[in-house]
Each structure stands twice: as structure tokens, then as C-alpha cells.
A and B are shown apart, each in its own frame.
Chain A
């Protein structure tokens, strides 16, 4: 297992390099003069010349990439002119809230998704299944930002139970309770939408497993139905679902952009939207790089869990 972990860790290096190339290329392809674009409202001729020299824009593309990547590795993500502070500082400040939101949404997603899918499969074609199917159908069809707005209009405007925005009450004591109250609506909205996909896949996967020969064997052994469903079918279904859960982390991280915007959550997603509208290119680059890296590690985690659960993979890696 340790050997495999190291192997997989090493394998993330080319992936991260690939990501950095894409991020770099996208920004390099910006039409017009990048320095002016980056500086935006701060584009005086002197500033632009200085920045051009800093980024090496007069040198060939490949050299520019290595300069940029080297800077990234040494923690230099450049400077946000709109915010007038280093990009890294801004990113680190916003990393925590995003991880908190995405992490709690993932928990909601995994828990609800797996349970709902399992229930729907076991109770196939009963009212439980039909109810859950309708629910998940809405979940995958409704825009998450709209659901967020609807939640605000119900729980804040109509009922007045939960705060509509931010992480803490302004000028409050920033207590854990206050945080949880603020986290509840965004995390549940994001998690619910993400769980719908998981629930549907879990249902399909469970139904497929329940038709397999080994389930018949388990029944022929006289196993009780609970054991047949949980110990045999669900365990096998889980093996196939773990990578999907990894992918779902991508959905949650992407969806966080909307949810952070709707709920004014001070995370990277909202920062990105602002940065794009102010054309703060270096901030966008840094933010995208950061979130993509988090996603890579979520997938790594999923891969390691799957590896531990599925004995069949072990032998294909020498």
C-alpha cells in the first residue's frame, strides 16, 4: 500500500505539470498585450514596461513558461494590481473558507447520495424509489445557484431562520456556532445537488450488482437479505463508485463558484468571478491553479481508497 501511495504521488507530478501548462497557455493566448490586460486600470506605460520585463513577455513562450512555473514553485504567484497585494496572500486567506464549504458539501453529498441510492435500489419501484427518483431528478436538473436563491428566499426572507450571506455575522464574535449557522445553507445546497448524481449512480450500480451471480451464490448460502445487500452487493458497488466520488469533488469545487457568489462566501470561487470581471489575470491564474491542485489531491484520495477496497487492482501494478 505504501509503495502504491508513493507511486501514485509521483504520478501526480506530470498531471500538475499538465495543469500548469494549460493554465499558462490559456493566459498566454489572451488577445492583445497581456501586460495591459493584467494591469487593467493601472496600465500606465511605465507600469506595463516594468511588468513585461518582470514576466519576461519579450522572451519566447517556452522560456516564459519556465519563468512562470519557477516563480510558482518558489511561492511567487505574482501581484494582484486590483487588490494591491501578492496573489498568494489572497489565495491563502480564501483557501480555508473554500475547503470548509467544499468539504462539508462533499460529506453531505457522499452520505445522502449513497444512502438514497441504496434505499432506492433495494426498494426498487416502490413509492420510496419513485420519491427519491423524483427528488434526484430535480437535483440534477435545477441550477444550484437558483436553488440557493430559493433557499434564501424561504429560510431567510420568509422564515427568517438562517442568515443569507457571509461566513460570520458582521461585527459578531466569530464563534463556531455562528459559523455553522452561516455554513448550513450553502453547504447543504451544494451537497444536495452533488448528491443527486451519486444517488442515481448508486441506484444503477446496486441494481447491476444485485443481478450478479455472486449475489445468487450468497442467497444460495442462506445469507439473510440484509447481509446480501450490504456485505455483498453494496461492497462491490462501492468499488465502482469511489472514483465517481472523486470526480464529484470536481463538481463540488466548481459548483462552489456559484454558491460562494450566491451566499457571498469569502472563498476562492467568488474571488475568481470578481477577478475575471476586473480582468485580474494573475489572480485568476493563481486561483485556477490552486483549485485544480486541490482537485488532483481529492482524486488521489479516491484512488487510494479504491485501491484499498478492490483487491483486483493490486496485481496490475507489479
Chain B
């Protein structure tokens, strides 16, 4: 088994909610709760969850924009702290990110040429003509014409702007690309174009993807393996096909059943809203029909019985065992 490219080892991230008069924290919010996962070189891992589940915080930690409260993140075997201290530039070259909102991720006052060239100037020691060469190359890869270089971001549609973001991220030939909801702001017809582009790039360049999305169907398109997050914890993980077909965690089940599919009517019954506030134990237990006393103790991720390997679930009463 190759050495993992990116590893999260019991990573927790807490944010201060309120501070009292003396600047001491009086309430904290745990956005990411002791998560452990890894991604191998060349793989594409999907991370799925609803808003506020901590998936974007994870992305920010993975690229070093946020530091974990506890736990360790390793890239190519070395912790991010060390990378940032010793070889920050090399880390920046190797790990890049694409953001959700294409219009907000490009500086409105810079032409595309400036946006791309600045990235090259900062990350490489290319000379001017090498930089031009690389810019041409990468624009071709994302299928944009060269004239795009002399335009400002607002002159592009959402899909085109997202292509530019991808070009900027790929221009330093990174090994790992974090994609934080890269297609959620786009219309379906454009979304499909970008997904196809991303898939081609991965095959062509061998970049490793961590793809974060709330949209299960999109993740299924692009990622062979997937993590499902709920309230800061991983509740289920495994190969995408297997996980979606034999879901084990009640939350995964609810999530999948909630996705509206053309040509299918919804099978959910509307019930009274659950109280979502939670103290300890399984975060999903207030919405779960199977919850009982035992669920006040937090379940841990463990191998699903009868799985063909790599399918894990954090639930005291996984669905496969009930059946």
C-alpha cells in the first residue's frame, strides 16, 4: 500500500463562540470532532455532508488556512506544522484549493493574466517566457481561449470563472487539490461540464482530489470513495458504490432517501421537527428513530460486518445488522 498523501489523525477543531470581558472563552463550538482519515496518491475522495457539518473547516485545515485545535495533519508523511515552518513554499506548490463561489475567488481588480502570473511568480522561479508558456498550457487544459488573459473576472460567466480558478490551482502542478463545493454555485448544464473537466484533468495529470460537496450525486460521479460527515464527525466511510447501496448509518440512509431524483416521488413522511440541540453521545440521536439509551455514548467508526473492505460506520445499531 502506498504511503498516504494526506492524513488526518484524530483532528479536532474548535471555535470560540463568545468571549467574556477578560477575553476568556465562555463557549466553544466543536466544528470537527476527532476525525481520522487519509487519501492515497492519485485517489479521489469525496466528503459529503450538510451545511455546518464541518466539511469546509476540514478543507481549510487540510491546506493550512486553519490550524487544528488538537490532532495531527500530515502531508506526504510530514506534519503541516513542519511544512509551514520549513518548506512553506513547497507545500503551497503541492497543495492547492478550488473554492465554491467562482466570482469571489478571483480578485475583481486583476486581469486573468495578473491572477495567473502572480501565482507563478510566487510559487516558482520561472522566467517571464516560461511563465507565459505555462499560462498558455494551463488555459488550454481548462479549455479557455488565450484572449481570456486580458480580461477581468466579471467578464466571465460562473462556469468560465470556475475554469480560471481551476487553472490557477493547477498552474504550479500540485499533487493534491482540495475542491470545496466547486460546482454548487453552477447550473446543472454547466456543472456537468466542470465535472467532466475535473475528471479528465485527474486522469491526465494524476492529481489527487479531495472533493467536498453536499450533493451526493455529484460525489458519486467523481469519487470512488467517500466519507459522510454529520455534526463534525465521520459517521460512515467506504467505497462509494458499496456505501450508497448498503448504507449502514441511519443518517446516510436519511440523506440518500432525501435526495430528489427525477421520475421518483418522495417516500418520506413529514414528521414533527426534531430538536437539534445536542449535548453528548451520537450527534444524530435526536433525529434517529432507533436511538436509545446506549446512543448517549458516542459510537466509534468500525468495519461494517460483511463488507468487502474499507466500509466503516459509526453507529451502535447499523442498518445492515438490523436486517
Contacts and interface: CB of A to CB of B under 8 A. Distances in A.
Bound together: yes
Interface string A305-318: 00000000000111
Most B CB contacts (10 A, CB to CB) among A10, A316, A317, A318 go to A318
Contacts of A317: 18
Contacts, number: 7
B81 to A, nearest CB: 33
A318 B17 CA distance: 9
Contacts of A316: 18
B202 to A, nearest CB: 40
B20 interface: yes
B26 interface: yes
Interface in B139-162: none
A6 to B, nearest CB: 12
Interface string A283-318: 000000000000000000000000000000000111
B101 to A, nearest CB: 20
Contacts of B26: 318
A316 B20 CA distance: 11
B27 interface: yes
A245 B26 CA distance: 32
B32 to A, nearest CB: 24
Nearest to A316: B18
Nearest to B27: A318
Most A CB contacts (10 A, CB to CB) among B21, B26, B27 go to B21
A316 B16 CA distance: 12
B255 to A, nearest CB: 29
A317 to B, nearest CB: 8
Size range of the chain B interface in the assembly: under 10
A316 B19 CA distance: 9
A10 B18 CA distance: 18
A251 B20 CA distance: 32
A10 B26 CA distance: 19
Nearest to A317: B18
A277 B237 CA distance: 79
Nearest to B26: A318
Interface in B1-50: 18, 20-21, 26-27
A317 B27 CA distance: 11
A316 B26 CA distance: 12
A318 B22 CA distance: 14
Interface in A140-197: none
A316 B27 CA distance: 11
B116 to A, nearest CB: 37
B281 to A, nearest CB: 25
A9 to B, nearest CB: 13
Nearest to A315: B18
Contacts of B20: 318
A318 B20 CA distance: 8
Nearest to A11: B21
Nearest to B17: A318
A187 to B, nearest CB: 39
Contacts of B21: 10
Interface in A8-59: 10
A12 to B, nearest CB: 13
B126 to A, nearest CB: 47
A10 B20 CA distance: 13
Contacts of B27: 318
A178 B271 CA distance: 73
B16 to A, nearest CB: 12
B43 to A, nearest CB: 42
A208 to B, nearest CB: 21
A317 B21 CA distance: 10
B24 to A, nearest CB: 12
Contacts of A10: 21
Nearest to A10: B21
A317 B18 CA distance: 7
B155 to A, nearest CB: 26
B57 to A, nearest CB: 21
A20 B210 CA distance: 56
Nearest to B19: A318
A10 B256 CA distance: 53
Nearest to A7: B21
Interface string A100-138: 000000000000000000000000000000000000000
A316 B17 CA distance: 9
Contacts of A318: 18, 20, 26-27
A313 to B, nearest CB: 13
Contacts of B18: 316-318
B223 to A, nearest CB: 36
A318 B26 CA distance: 8
A15 to B, nearest CB: 14
Nearest to B18: A318
Interface in B69-108: none
B191 to A, nearest CB: 26
A169 to B, nearest CB: 53
A131 B152 CA distance: 41
A318 B27 CA distance: 9
Which are the 7 A-B pairs with shortest beta-carbon distances? A318-B18, A318-B26, A318-B20, A318-B27, A316-B18, A317-B18, A10-B21
Interface of B: 18, 20-21, 26-27
7 contacts: A10-B21, A316-B18, A317-B18, A318-B18, A318-B20, A318-B26, A318-B27
Interface of A: 10, 316-318
